[in-house]
Amino acid sequence: MVLTTLLPAGLGAETLGVDYPLVLLGLFLSLLPLVASPLARQGVPALALAPPDRLSRLVAGSIRLAGMLAIAALVLALAGLHRRAQLVEREGQGAHVVLLLDRSSSMDNTFADRAPSGDVESKSLAAKRLLSEFVTRRPNDRIGVVAFSTSPMPVLPLTDHHGAVLAAIAAIDRPGLSFTDVGRGLALALASFGSDSDEASRAVVLVSDGAALIDRKVQEALRDEVARNPVHLYWLFLRSRGARGIFEAPPPGENTPQANPERHLHLFLQSLGVPYRAFEAGSPEAVGQAIAEIDRQETRPLRYIERVPRRDYAPALLGVAAMALALLLAAKAAERPLARRPQPLDSNEEPMRPRRLAA
Amino acid sequence: MSRRLSRRIGLDRRFGLLLAALAATCAALLAPRIERPRSARDLLLVVDITGSMNVRDYTVDGRPTSRLEVAKRALRDLLAALPCSSRVGLAVFTERRSFLLFEPAEVCGNFAPLDAELAALDWRMAWEGDSYIARGAQSGWELAQAVRADLVFLTDGHEAPPAPAAGLPPFERSGPPVHGLLVGVGGPEPAPIPKFDEDGRETGFYAEADVPQENRSGPPPADAESRPGYNPRNAPWGAEAASGTEHLSALREEHLRALAAQLGLGYARLESPDNLAGAVLAATEPRPVRALVETYPLPAALALLALVLAHLMPLGRRAARRSHPSSPPVTSQGNARP
């Protein structure tokens, strides 16, 4: 009966699991103590010699119970009873972040716009190192990754499995493609929040070393999307030597989107009407500072999912089995024959309905 | 005397069995975890997402299904079939390059995002319409070598523009070897290729005039001289426009076999979504990893056996005596009855 209440939905069938369900058939063995006993059966000539008393019944019952418990516990341990890994919702600090990463081939050059050599790292390598640190520092965030170059590519949906996120960030210093289509990349980044209706702070971190014209249709689509699902925007502009800055207005006559796409992307993002910050980083150190600033900004209360790992019940079950066995063994050791007679009694021979006596 | 004493305090066989059960249970409690080798895989999956992969020449659940869709299903099954500690990275191929989306990551801990990403693969991620498959597979090989993984490259072998008559572009394998599998996706019958407009809406199928039917770069093929209007200087490929079936797509198995041989990979055809995992596990190099294995089941099973025997013993002995009346006499008087 212990078994029947313990196994099915009583404890929540979805939280308990077994590794080898077929072994559970062995639970039928736990009915064995109801019909057999390791104790010697002793016959008494007359039932009246051993009148039923409550103590004996109690003791006999508990011995039976101990036997059933020991068998059931061993079977459950062998079947690998465990509590499944669970997801528990907790409150913490963090955000839902989509990393929008530039995979154009110019990212493979250094900040001085040369091929990387010696101890000078490329922009993509610096971004990779610093973004990995960023992700590691923020264990509660849900992070998604979108790559863009000639076309936008969803790399990872919003996830709290940071191993996959780190693997996606590790891929950004592999050779990239030719163009920088920021507009469609942004659209995909916004779309990857999808139906995420959480109250958590949502942020898009754009990491790129350049920009391109955004098609008018795409601009309108972006405005629509941002108005519907407001996000925080961060642009980490990896400025190569010689590239125009995004903050200073260029001399009149050169102030066209064609001549100065970065500056105009900055103006466009400012005009979206959502919290937006741009960081211009001309060196790996500046990138580090900018990422630290984003890290500081994006700490709002967040409900996040924590994984509670699987817990094996085998040790506990074996402990229970050991205690029940110890009880049985004690009962067995305390067993005495009823009659003290010179003739050897055969303890196994038992003819009439016996009353088993313990101790 | 000892027998009597032992019987008096219950030191019979069943006592021994119970003692053994307790000892085995205690041993199970203390049993250590031992390290056992397990063979994980490190894989780089490269998926062809060019236009010809949209051809619907598979039938899944009674519905025509595109090659890309079947490839994705097969890869998701593969992901689920890999043992824990295996690592899987993903790249997509179009144009002439394999483009890495993420480096190999452990499959069990990151299953959900990896699976979601495989499901999200789409031809719209392609950055160009060309499909130089031989070059793409070669760059996939180099990529796999760089991330130290084995290569699984899924493609239909349909080169666009058509492969030059000269055959495969040269490729020299150097450095550590890459094992793996080139997987042919698609059916043997030429099938029409869906065509999409600028906004990604399907608008019909490619027609003969929509695609180049012959690759006219490099030296002309050997049979060029017999073509009508051939002129070595002015019309080295003949004077007529090329015609052919390049607007239809079938699985090019000879081409893929040759490519697999050049890259030192195995070749397998994807017959249905569920026959990929076995082929991949057979063609890739197992990486031994140490997995901790519990040892308690053995003593626990012994304990269970001893405990059950301790309960069955009385019945067993009675039954035995009944069938062998001559077996050792247990003289019983008084309280024994036939």
pLDDT tens by residue, A132-190? 988 888 888 888 899 888 888 888 888 888 888 999 998 888 877 777 788 888 888 88
Within 290-329 of A, beta carbons closer than 8 Å to B belong to 312, 314-315, 318-319, 321-322, 325-326, 328-329
Given CB atoms, is B3 within the 8 Å cutoff of chain A?
Answer: yes
Number of domains in chain A: 2
Partner-chain contact B7 A337, CB within 8 Å? yes
Question: By residue range, what is the domain housing residue A60?
Answer: 2-85+310-333
Q: Is residue A263 predicted with pLDDT exceeding 50?
A: yes
A349 domain-assigned? no
Which residues in chain B are contacts of A312 at CB distance < 8 A?
294
For residues A218 and A250, membership in a common domain is answered with: yes
Q: Which residue in A has a C-alpha nearest to residue B116's C-alpha?
A: A157
Is the domain of A237 the same as that of A323?
A: no
On whether both A192 and A79 belong to a single domain, the answer is no
> Do A47 and A176 fall into the same domain?
no
In a domain, A166, yes or no: yes
Query: Which of B8, B100, B106 is the mutation pick for testing A, counting most A CBs within 10 A?
Result: B100
Q: Under DSSP, is residue A8 helix (H, G, I), strand (E, B) or coil?
A: coil
Q: Which residues of A touch B105 (CB under 8 A)?
A: 163-164, 166-167
CB contact under 8 A, A37 and B294: no
Per-residue 3-state assignment (H helix, E strand, C coil) for chain B: CHHHHHHHCCCCHHHHHHHHHHHHHHHHHHCCEEEEEEEECEEEEEEECCHHHHCCCEEECCEEECHHHHHHHHHHHHHHHCCCCCEEEEEEEEECEEEEEEEEEECCCCHHHHHHHHHHCCHHHCCCCCECHHHHHHHHHHHHHHCCCEEEEEECCCCECCCCCCCCCCCCCCCCCCCEEEEEECCCCCEECEEECCCCCEEEECCHHHCCCCCCCCCCCHHHHHCCCCECCCECCCCCCCCCCCCEECCCHHHHHHHHHHHCCEEEEECCHHHHHHHHHHHCCCEEEEEEEECCHHHHHHHHHHHHHHHHHHHHHHHHHHHCCCCCCCCCCCCCCC
Please answer yes or no on whether A346 and B331 come within 8 Å at the CB atom.
yes
Residues A108 and A235 in one domain: yes
| Correct CATH for B42-211+251-285 of 3.90.1150.10, 3.30.930.10, 1.10.1130.10, 3.40.50.410 | 3.40.50.410
**Residue A173 maps to a domain:** yes
Q: Within this chain, do residues A128 and A276 fall inside the same structural domain, yes or no?
A: yes
Chains A, B: CB contacts within 8 A come to 208
User: Which residues 151-170 in chain A show a CB within 8 A of chain B?
Assistant: 151-157, 159, 161, 163-168, 170
Residues of chain A with C-beta less than 8 angstroms from the C-beta of B320: none
Q: Do B296 and A314 touch (CB under 8 A)?
A: yes
Residue A80 and residue A101 in one domain: no
Regarding whether A112 and A13 lie in a shared domain, the answer is no
Please tell me if residue A34 touches chain B, with a CB cutoff of 8 Å.
Answer: no
Let me know if residue A185 belongs to a domain: yes
A344 domain-assigned: no
Q: What percent of chain A has pLDDT over 70?
A: 84
pLDDT band at A1 (very low <50, low <70, confident <90, very high): very low
Residues A28 and A169 placed together within one structural domain of the fold: no
The domain spans of chain B are 10-36+297-309, 42-211+251-285, 213-245
Predicted confidence at residue A195, as pLDDT, reads: 65
**What is the model's pLDDT at position B301?**
93
Tens digit of each residue's pLDDT, chain B (338 residues): 455 554 554 457 888 888 999 999 999 999 888 887 778 889 999 999 888 888 888 888 889 899 999 999 999 889 888 888 889 999 999 888 888 889 999 888 888 888 888 988 888 887 777 888 888 899 999 999 998 999 999 998 888 787 777 778 888 888 888 899 999 998 888 888 888 887 778 888 888 877 777 777 777 777 777 888 788 888 787 777 777 778 888 888 888 999 899 989 999 998 888 888 888 888 888 888 877 788 888 999 999 999 998 888 765 455 444 444 444 444 333 333 33
Task: Report yes or no on A352 lying in a domain.
Answer: no
In a shared domain, residues A73 and A141: no
Cβ distance B89 to A171 less than 8 Å, yes or no, reads yes
Side chain identity, residue A350:
E
| φ, ψ (nearest 5 deg) of residue A245 | -75, 165
User: Are both A71 and A92 inside the same structural domain?
Assistant: no
- Residues of chain A in contact with residue B331, where contact means CB-CB under 8 angstroms, are 343-344, 346
A244 in a structural domain: yes
Q: Residue A197's domain is classified under what CATH number?
A: 3.40.50.410
**What is the reported pLDDT for A226?**
85
The answer on pLDDT for A11 being more than 50 is no
**B16 interfaces chain A, CB cutoff of 8 Å:** no
Q: Are residues A131 and A230 in the same domain?
A: yes
